Amino acid sequence: MTAPATGSDLIDVNILGPEALRDPYGYFAPIRAEHPVLWDARYKTWLLTSHEMVTAALRDQRFSSDRIVPFIRAKLSGPDTDPLIYQAFDLLRNWMVFQDEPGHRRMRTLVVKAFTLRAVTRMEEEVRSISHDLLREIDPASEFDLIEKFAYPLPAMVIARMLGVPERDQDRFRAWSDDIGALVSGGLDDPGRYHRSAAAIAEMIEFFRDLMRHYAAHPAENLISDLIAAREADDSLSEAEAIATCTLLLFGGHETTANLIANSMLGLIRHPDQLAALRAGTVPIKGAVEEFLRYDGPGKAVVRVLAEDAEYGGQRMRKGQRVFLVLASANHDPSVFDRPDVLRLDRDTKAHMAFGGGGHFCLGAALARLEAAVALPILVDALPGIRLAGRELRWQPVFLTRGLRELWVTADGPR
Ligand code: HEM
């Protein structure tokens, strides 16, 4: 596809360069101010960076979420297509997040009958007990990677228990979200990613098929049983759709929530006054979580593809072109948030976009909020004097998510 001719072609942006990875907020500030709609010639994508543009695009049906069906058609329809790779993308085709209306609405309506607020609230005690179990394995006075020991396992264990995955399978289950990640995320450092993850995904599909058939015969109080039972008029999820939804919930809720916990702890370590306020209980945790989401949330951007030509911010965008809606930049737009680069746990964050917006607004927002609101105070309480262990902070070299590879910390030990 040829790049459109615009004045902004002359601007050399590198959204995966070291500066943008380290501090996307500082990086995007001048871009947002000068060119809130910018063609990135390097990665052949539009970048929408202002709060106003991102809000509008999230609600504009011309911005399609379906990039899987076109990909399958273009790249996986030939006779020499690896059947495992085909199967993996066929799974993604059934993810609601990659669907447009009316198919998206149909699936979401069915899934929310299972993934209810009640089902989420039921998890509160589980989140608390898993958090304490994980902390018991940590010696606070040693140097430890908070991501490996706590932030990463917690959400996987929570969603596994919510779905009804048996304890003995939870390690495998956790590893699968990395395999899906390799398929979905555009990583720079991982060109052979499809081949490596397709075999693991085939195994995961089999695993969920068996589990689904088990719960179809023996329903229990869990999400898989509720997904099987979900009905809207005469409609229900097919087995393939229910399996796909389980994998979406695992993937959608794992790394994102892990990064929320880790990024929040990093934010607190870097802002001792805010850490002290949270520890003293002078700021409500619910509001604090919203500020963590705004300040350094786990998703830098969501992707759309133009289903029709559109004009935004005076720029003509063409059908078929890719668009990144840069949530991270919208969340630091000074026209909406006063002094956006300051972490202020008591600020008004109502307009933040960390969970996206419009029809695809994060289905798991309540669960992510619950996990963070339970886990962060437990961590803050158990790790007095928490500080960085002096190792370099390395951000994952991907554009869509904002997460550290590791977060090495140490603390003073139990009080
Ligand atoms: C802090 C953690 C999380 C963040 C920042 C986050 C962010 C997002 C965002 C930005 C979207 C919109 C994607 C788009 O418009 O293309 C989304 C959608 C979604 N998220 Fe989350 N998410 C988080 C946690 C979770 C959890 C815990 C779950 C479930 C276990 C989950 C499940 C989903 C699902 C199913 C969708 C698709 C909704 C749809 O297409 O209608 N997310 N999430």
Reported as a single tens digit per residue, the pLDDT across 2-58 is: 444 454 555 789 999 999 999 999 999 999 999 999 999 999 999 999 999 999 999
In 3D space, the residue among 113, 97, 107 whose CA is nearest the CA of residue 238 turns out to be 107
3-class SS at 63? strand
Q: What is the pLDDT of residues 314-343, one digit of tens each?
A: 999 999 999 999 999 999 999 999 999 999
300 touches 22 (CB < 8 A): no
What span, in angstroms and rounded, lies between the C-alpha atoms of 195 and 135?
A: 36
Task: Determine if ligand 1 sits within 6 Å of the CB of residue 352.
Answer: no
Probe residue for ligand 1, chosen from 68, 122, 355, 401 as the CB with the greatest number of ligand atoms within 8 Å:
355
pLDDT for residue 262 is more than 90: yes
Nearest alpha-carbon partner for 268 in 280, 255, 254: 280
- Cβ distance 151 to 259 under 8 Å? yes
Mean pLDDT of the chain: 93
Reported as a pLDDT band with limits 50, 70 and 90, residue 81 is confident
The pLDDT value recorded for residue 10 is: 58
Query: Is 289 a pocket residue for ligand 1 (Cβ < 6 Å)?
Result: no
Strand 45-48 and strand 322-325: the pairing is parallel
Structure token digits, residue 272: 């001792």
Look at the block and give the residue holding tokens 């990665």: 43
User: What residue ranges do the domains of the chain occupy?
Assistant: 54-297+336-410
φ, ψ for residue 53, nearest 5 deg = -70, -40
Q: CATH assignment of 54-297+336-410, given 3.40.470.10, 3.40.120.10, 3.30.470.10, 1.10.630.10?
A: 1.10.630.10
For 195-214, the pLDDT digits (tens) are: 778 888 999 999 999 999 99
**How many C-beta atoms surround the C-beta of residue 232 within 10 A?**
12
CB 65 near ligand 1, within 6 Å: yes
302 lines ligand 1 (CB under 6 A): yes
- Return the ligand 1 atom nearest residue 254 CA: 27
The C-alpha atoms of residue 412 and residue 394 are separated, in whole angstroms, by 24
Rounded to whole angstroms, the Cα distance separating 349 from 334 reads 12
Number of CB atoms found within 10 A of residue 336's CB: 20
Q: How far, in Å, from the CA of 411 to the mean position of ligand 1? A: 32
Residue nearest to atom 11 of ligand 1 (CA): 362
